[in-house]
Chains A and B, each alone.
Chain A
């Protein structure tokens, strides 16, 4: 069974003008969000994006943008309560 998360929330953005179609983003995406479309790439399934940021990190031309961060509820609550940036290290929760 395929996991699907909330619709219309992912911050993934693509600037076609900057893309030269090298395709490294296709290699690093863990959810097959992007596809090759001729000499460029294209967003195929934006709702599958988990905002890991691998594509943006590896795009040599800055054609992709994603707002990344810790997607852990406890970390977000802790961050909101203490006024600090949410991190998973502080509460010894999910990340190890």
Chain B
């Protein structure tokens, strides 16, 4: 094995090992990688955060060799979402390790584990496919802790002979974890959801509602151009604000907004915004008229409540039972509130003679 590997350089471009005569040699299919990310890697991650070709942002499953990994080097398991792979190897600077990439259809470890694609069967199969027993002399694989929802460690051991050791939640803790005899401290085990964690998720929240917002915008523009309705910026911005509050502001301020249910957190912010918007226009009844004010009070919080509620799916601490419970109460209120709000918008337009 050393003969095959010594000729391979450690440059940043993934490099396929030379095919030798012996096709049964598992080292032939190992791909060399490095801990250095290139500009396209960062650009690709940024695009994926905005939902651009996100589902195609993946790499080939298989075994990757980082640095000068030999038979004793640790094996780290990850998903084939390219961002997962890149962020893992970036944290392994100066280390020699094997990275076993499972086929999760380009989904990250935690989400794929929830669906079972990052799972016991795929791990056992991938260990066999890459010929891991012939490549490493030990029988341990390090699975990221968040993969544990899909992997049963005792099953993997029984069926593959490999012991699963659960690594830290965050890749940045891996060097410390390895130095510490593969033991994770309590802080390495706990999932966080800090400001930055939430910030990087908000673009996807915006992209998710881009279509309905643009459709409504196009419709309003059309009505405006045909002269049927005069659409003014001051009539529109409270509603655009509702979207921004539900999709961005509420997720960012999440722990600082009183209450526990996401729908409530979004509603209260939306309500405050609607009140503020009315006062910015000169107080109740003075700006758009009382009917339109009432419409904003009903419609704006309904929108931000719904969007904030959707952020439960991206959060790292909400339970399915909890989401179901809050939805039972919130969804009917949101729907009714939005419907009455919409009717009031039409009534106010008719009253103003613009419809």
Contacts and interface: CB of A to CB of B under 8 A. Distances in A.
B310 A73 contact: yes
A74 B310 contact: yes
Interface string A23-42: 01001111110000000000
B193 A96 contact: no
28 contacts: A3-B317, A5-B318, A5-B322, A6-B261, A7-B260, A9-B325, A10-B321, A28-B145, A32-B186, A51-B321, A54-B113, A54-B145, A54-B148, A69-B320, A70-B313, A71-B313, A71-B319, A72-B310, A72-B312, A73-B310, A73-B327, A74-B310, A88-B111, A92-B55, A94-B313, A95-B111, A96-B48, A96-B55
Contact of A9 (B115, B150, B208, B319): B319
Nearest to A28: B148
Contacts of A54: 113, 145-146, 148-149
B163 to A, nearest CB: 11
B320 A1 contact: no
Contacts, number: 155
A69 B190 CA distance: 21
A5 B107 contact: no
Interface of B: 48, 51, 54-55, 81, 106-108, 111, 113-115, 145-146, 148-154, 166, 169, 184, 186, 189-191, 193, 201, 204, 208, 254-256, 260-262, 309-327, 331
B254 A3 contact: yes
Interface residues of A, number: 46
Interface string A44-85: 000011111110011010000001111111111100000000
B54 A96 contact: yes
B107 A96 contact: yes
- Among A7, A68, A87, max chain B CB count under 10 A is at A68
A74 B321 contact: no
A3 B255 contact: yes
Nearest to B308: A73
Across the A-B interface, give the 9 residue pairs with the lowest CB-CB distance, nearest first: A72-B313, A28-B148, A54-B148, A94-B313, A30-B191, A1-B255, A95-B111, A6-B322, A51-B319
Given A52-B149, A73-B313, A96-B107, 7 more contacts: A50-B319, A58-B154, A68-B114, A71-B312, A71-B320, A72-B314, A96-B106
Give chain A's interface secondary structure class.
loop
B313 A75 contact: yes
A74 B263 CA distance: 12
B107 A30 contact: no
Contacts of B115: 87-89
Given A54-B148, A93-B313, A24 B108 contact: no
B95 to A, nearest CB: 22
Nearest to B157: A60
Contacts of A68: 114, 149, 320
A58 B165 CA distance: 12
A6 B321 CA distance: 9
B166 A57 contact: no
Nearest to A29: B189
Given A1-B256, A28-B145, A51-B321, A58 B313 contact: no
B313 A95 contact: yes
B313 A88 contact: yes
B30 to A, nearest CB: 27
B208 to A, nearest CB: 6
A15 interface: no
B148 A58 contact: yes
A93 B113 CA distance: 17
Contacts of B326: 6
A16 B81 CA distance: 38
Contact of B319 (A5, A29, A76, A96): A5
